[in-house]
Amino acid sequence: MPRTDPDPDVAVDRGDVEVVGPTGDRGSAGDRDGDSIRGSDHEFSDNADRARRRVPVRTDGGSERERPDEWLSAETGEQVLLVTGAMSGPLGHLPDEAFSNLLLITVRDPNRIERAVERRGIDPRSVGVVPISGSPVAYDGPMWCTDAVSPNDLTGISMAFAEGMRYVADGEGWVVLDNVSTLLMYAADDRLHRLVSHLVRQCREQEVRAVYAIAGESVTEQTLASFSGLCDRVEDRSE
């Protein structure tokens, strides 16, 4: 699998910012402590080889289970801008097969991600996470997980993405960015636009399906149109 290199054009200055996480936690964002990886590298890597095998799922109900016709679909290599409500995330819109080899770049706590995946009856070892947070993230579970990356460190996000893409199966895997709206609070539009453009190019090159979540009511129409232009289609799930 080709090595994915970080895009040098998305470099930004690193500084101290206060980040409010999805649970209301606050922290001071500074430099990263390194690029160490937690979790099981080989298990996430093995799932790239097993991506064609569907992970068994529960059939005991749940809101996602009751609305399979509403799950997001994507063709191989398709890049989708997912417009969500302010309080909703993209995971509930993904089909089960997306979790068989998924790289998630997210502002949400990995522990919450693991619980959400397990509630769907899916093996969390098939999921890799790049946590975006201004403070260290405590996670020691079965998912592949990098150290937390500050939301204003677009170079660090690009580097962590490059590391994670080594384990995403060409033509089979999924990438999810959750979410564009939060990153816009800490990075200029043009810099974030270059980062997302870099992610889109690499995912297309590896024929990976990718979803870029954005809270439509939190951005201007001009910003929404700008990011829409990078993707193959827009899926509005904001209602």
Q: How far is CA 66 from CA 1, 9, 61, 82, 115, in A?
A: 37, 44, 7, 21, 19
- Where do the domains of the chain lie, and which CATH numbers do they carry? 41-50+73-237 (3.40.50.300)
What's this model's pTM, rounded to 2 decimal places? 0.76
DSSP state of 105: E
Which segments of the chain are extended strands (E)?
18-20, 26-28, 37-38, 79-84, 102-106, 127-131, 144-146, 174-178, 209-215, 233-237
pLDDT at residue 191, as a whole number: 97
pLDDT digits (tens, 9 = 90+) for 140-188: 999 999 999 999 999 999 999 999 999 999 999 999 999 999 999 999 9
pLDDT digits (tens, 9 = 90+) for 215-234: 999 999 999 999 999 999 99
pLDDT at 69 over 70: no
Which segments of 163-215 are extended strands (E)?
174-178, 209-215
